[in-house]
Each structure stands twice: as structure tokens, then as C-alpha cells.
Amino acid sequence: MPGSSGPGSMCRLSRASRSAPSNCRGAAAASAKRRADLAGVARALSDLLAAHLDWSRPVILFGHSLGALIAYETALRLEGSGLVPAHLVVSARRAPDVPTPQPLRHTLVDDALLAELARIGGTDAAILAHRELMALLLPAIRADFTLTDPYHRPQPEALDCPILAIRGQDDAEIGEADMAGWEAATRSGCARWHPAGGHFYLADPPVRSALAERLARLAAAAG
């Protein structure tokens, strides 16, 4: 389940160009039109997973940043229908009971939002400085923040499946205390992992490999 907070989730760019690639224009337009309704996204996804996954085998839900919230809400709906995932893995996202700090990013003017993206990291400075390209991408980025920023569950509903909560050691977006509340979101235990890197630690191939190994071990243990 995808994350948010940067144009890298919409198209792969290593440096800015004079004009925005057509695939980025299309991706930005499609993303900006997505429903600003996280519950609706989770409801649709849970219906899809319930219908098309083989639930006789272990099912692990993984979500990074915004994707972690979608994975959690999807797991709640799956369990409500009697389908319990083997594990929920939440990455780089504060716990449901921790509100997003003010000011909410989807309300920021463009220059302030660009500064926030630079602070979080994970996006080439040349891309952020490319005004034409960012004019195309900012509506889609703002749409992601519209989904994630207002989210808050003061009393999280507990899952039956266990949780693995992951935070990069140098994450400037999510503090260690922000992750603690995931323990209250499960009745089956919450483990923690702190790989090297920041909010976008997944960009590091060795860390991705280590994550894949952890997921494989979780699946084998549940199998």
C-alpha cells in the first residue's frame, strides 16, 4: 500500500527536465482525483482483498506512511468480516491516536508545502526547484495529505492480528513517541524495528532486502 509525502510515489525522476514527462502529467491528474475519504478507500480495498486473496494462506498487510493508515483501516474491515490477516506491518506513520501536528500540510500555500517536502526528504532538490513540474505534482501531493492529515482515532480499535511497527532511525517526520500507540491497536502484540535511514528508508536497497527477509519470516511463522 503506497505511501505519500513526495512526488517520488507518482513517477520516477532522477533529475528535473525542461518539461514534465507525459506519464507524470497523467499520474498527477489521476492521483489528484482520488477520493479524499480514507474510510472509503479502505472499504473498497477490503472488499477487493476479501474477494481475490487466498485466505487459506497467510496474508500480511504492509503500508508505508499514508499506506500504513490504509492498511490498518483495511485490516479492521477485514477482521469485521471474519478474515484476520497474519500480520499488519505499519511503516513511517504515527499511531492512530496521535493527531497530525499543526499546521496541516494540505492547507499550506505552495511555497510552504515545498519547504515541508524538502524537510521530510526523499525528493531530489532539483525536482522541488522545478516550478513547472511541481505545479503539476503539487495537487496530487496535496490530495494525499488531505487523506492523511485529518486522520485521528483518540481510542484506536484493537486488531486481533499482531503488528510490526517500523520507523527509520533518522525519520524527521515521525518521532519515536509517535509510534508507541501502535501497541494499543492490537490484542496480539506489537514488535518494533528501527532500520537505518529517514522517512524514506525504503529507498535503500539493503534495507529493502532486510525488510523482505523479515516479511518472509513472518509469513513462514504464520504458515
Provide long-range contacts, Cβ within 8 A and 24+ apart, for 208-211. Answer: 211/166
At 28, list the grid cell: 498527477
Selected catalytic residue, list 65, 91, 106, 130: 65
199 is catalytic: yes
Sheet holding 87-91, edge to edge: 60-64, 87-91, 163-166, 190-193
Q: Kindly give, in sequence order, each residue whose CB lies less than 8 Å from that of residue 95, ignoring residues fewer than 6 positions away.
A: 156, 165, 178, 179, 180, 181, 182, 184, 185
Task: List residues with catalytic annotation.
Answer: 65, 199
